[in-house]
A and B are shown apart, each in its own frame.
Chain A
Amino acid sequence: MNPARRKKLIIIIVLVLGVGIATALALRAFQQNLLYFFSPMQIAAGEAPSNRAFRIGGLVVAGSVQRDPQSLAVSFTLTDTLESVRVHYAGVLPDLFREGQGIVANGRLGNDGTFIASEVLAKHDENYMPPEVAKALAAAGKPIPHSAFKQTP
């Protein structure tokens, strides 16, 4: 094998190894993040970590949102229809935040079992329709399937 070919071969091996290692590292980092959030049921079952921050995902219970008129502080209840968790947060909420909306909050569990959020993100589902269609569906008493949080009992 002549030196030029050998050099090229080494470049290829280094590049392939580099990409392989980068991918492996990414996947490892990824592994810890694969479960992006815990559901209230998992928290009730004690599966969520108690010593570090994690994310919680669920639907905002209708009528549970309490805003402090003096500040940005807000609290609401998140549910996966089986269990629910009270969430406290002070900060700007995403535009999609509303009752019945899917929410993912980052934070940690307080001693009283409520969740202290440092960040609140909205998780919408895959349904898109014009407002009139949504209204017509509501008027006909047909609930819009909200599948942002699939239930796996």
Chain B
Amino acid sequence: MLESLYKYAAPQNFYQLSRRLTPWLAGAAALLLLAGLAGALWFAPPDYQQGESFRIIYVHVPSAWMSLFVYVVLAAAGITGLVWKVKVADALARASAPIGAAFTFLALATGSLWGKPMWGAWWVWDARLTSELILLFLYVGYIALQGAIEDRRMAARAGAVLAVIGLINIPIIHYSVEWWSTLHQGPTVTRFDAPAIHISMLIPLLIMALGFKLYYAANVLVRMRCELLEAERNSAWVRQLGS
């Protein structure tokens, strides 16, 4: 186990493994997303209070979960790169940022499209929405930092520091609805009690969430390969790829 970990921490081995894995992950993600979409738009019943508008949950909640998950991956990869100087970890952090930013933007935008008809407002400055907006700023700040520093190792180090500082925001986002009075409701699924959502509505949500996760896995592998090709463009293994 540890041995294979060492093996695939080497960029050239990782590159080959990633090329083999990506089509399977992408295919599985596409199947799950299509199945989830059918469940979300067709098979799930409307909500007793919110009617059909409730279906926005199936894109809003997986996006929001992924916005947190990807950030934790980014920060963990950043620390790994900082401490053990693993190039693949640096690539993982750098490749995760644009995907995480996209999920965060989607969570905010779909939430807005849901908030207007149900709450009566596109946006409110409550603790949940504000902390999620700060998460978007953290992603954008990370991406800007990577763009501003030409030297990749320096950029990775600075990015890791920023990511770790921003990690404090993750529990704040999750618990904001419990710690403070917010317009946003409390957690439906990620809580200690049984989920407060009917099983017929829960299943498509879980399928979508898994689809989003596999989408991220496939997408981040492609982006990591690009990062590694650019970072290692003068190394022997990259030169060999060209010939």
Q: Report A's interface with B, CB cutoff 8 A.
A: 8, 11-12, 15-16, 19-20, 22-23, 26, 30, 33-37, 39, 57, 92-97, 104, 119-135, 147-148
Query: Taking the complex as formed, is B54 at the interface, i.e. its CB lies under 8 A from any CB of chain A?
Result: yes
Contact between chains at B117 and A130 (CB < 8 Å): no
Q: How many Å from the CB of B106 to the closest CB on chain A? A: 20
A15-B141, A130-B201, A131-B46 as given contacts; A30 in contact with B124, CB under 8 Å: no
Contact check: which of B45, B49, B124 meets A124 at CB < 8 Å?
A: B49
A34-B127, A121-B183, A124-B185 as given contacts; A131 in contact with B158, CB under 8 Å: no
Q: How many Å from the CB of A37 to the closest CB on chain B? A: 5
Contact between chains at A23 and B134 (CB < 8 Å): yes
| CB nearest to A95 among chain B residues | B117
A126-B188, A134-B48 as given contacts; A121 in contact with B119, CB under 8 Å: yes
Listed by A's residue number, 9 A-B pairs whose Cβ atoms lie within 8 Å are A8-B150, A16-B162, A33-B125, A34-B127, A93-B120, A120-B120, A121-B119, A121-B120, A125-B196
Contact between chains at B180 and A35 (CB < 8 Å): yes
Q: CB-CB < 8 A to B144: which residues of A?
A: 15
Residue tally, chain B, CB below 8 Å to A: 48
Q: How many Å from the CB of B8 to the closest CB on chain A? A: 30
Query: Taking the complex as formed, is B186 at the interface, i.e. its CB lies under 8 A from any CB of chain A?
Result: yes
Contact between chains at B149 and A12 (CB < 8 Å): yes
Q: Is the interface of A mostly helix, strand, loop or mixed?
A: mixed
Q: How many Å from the CB of A3 to the closest CB on chain B? A: 14
Q: CB-CB < 8 A to A104: which residues of B?
A: 183
**Residue from B46, B119, B127 whose CB has the most chain A CB atoms within 10 Å:** B119
Contact between chains at A37 and B181 (CB < 8 Å): yes
Q: CB-CB < 8 A to B230: which residues of A?
A: none
Query: Taking the complex as formed, is B23 at the interface, i.e. its CB lies under 8 A from any CB of chain A?
Result: no
Contact with A along B116-134 (1 / 0, CB 8 A): 0111110011110010001
A26-B130, A94-B118 as given contacts; A126 in contact with B151, CB under 8 Å: no
Bound complex: CA of A39 vs CA of B188, how far in Å? 23
Contact between chains at B188 and A16 (CB < 8 Å): no
Q: CB-CB < 8 A to B149: which residues of A?
A: 8, 11-12
